[in-house]
Structure 1
């Protein structure tokens, strides 16, 4: 699995990069159909206190899967985004299983 991480309009964070890679590698062990993942970290001014955005695009055989979350910190945003991706991957896995 190939992982591409980009920090949009903000400085690169080695800690966040390592955290995201660690979480994505756990997900990749569960779903071997993942070809690559693109991760985007963005910061926005949000009056509610959120504004730490994590977006992920997962390439599989077939259509891509996308998830995004806007949280108070990037760690929570990564967890939330991966959780959304896993739900979508489970649905895809259920559809792809041949019926006996």
Structure 2
């Protein structure tokens, strides 16, 4: 799967990119028709501690799945996004099996 990581208003380090790609590669176990994914990493200038925002858009045939989560660290937010996408992809796969 092709993973495109974009950082908004800051420079992202290689460890975070590798962590994100590793998490998204695991999603292929749940749904094998994933074409690509776009990851947007943002930092909001607010007083709250959870100001790291991660948006992940996954391209699957016929649709795009989008998840947006925030956390204290980017790793935490990516983890939340991947687990949420995991549930969505499992549900989508079950629906496609029901139509066969």
TM-score range, shorter chain: over 0.9
1:27 matches 2:27: yes
Unaligned runs of 5+ in 1: none
Q: Name the stretch that deviates more: 17-26 or 45-54.
A: 45-54
Structure 1 segments (4+ residues) deviating >3 Å = none
**What is the TM-score when the length of structure 1 is the normalising length?**
0.92
Over the residues paired in the alignment, what is the CA RMSD in angstroms?
1.4
Unaligned runs of 5+ in 2: none
Aligned positions, number: 100
Q: Secondary structure at the match of 2:63?
A: coil
Q: Secondary structure at the match of 1:84?
A: helix
1:18 matches 2:23: no
Partner of 1:97: 97
**What is the TM-score when the length of structure 2 is the normalising length?**
0.92
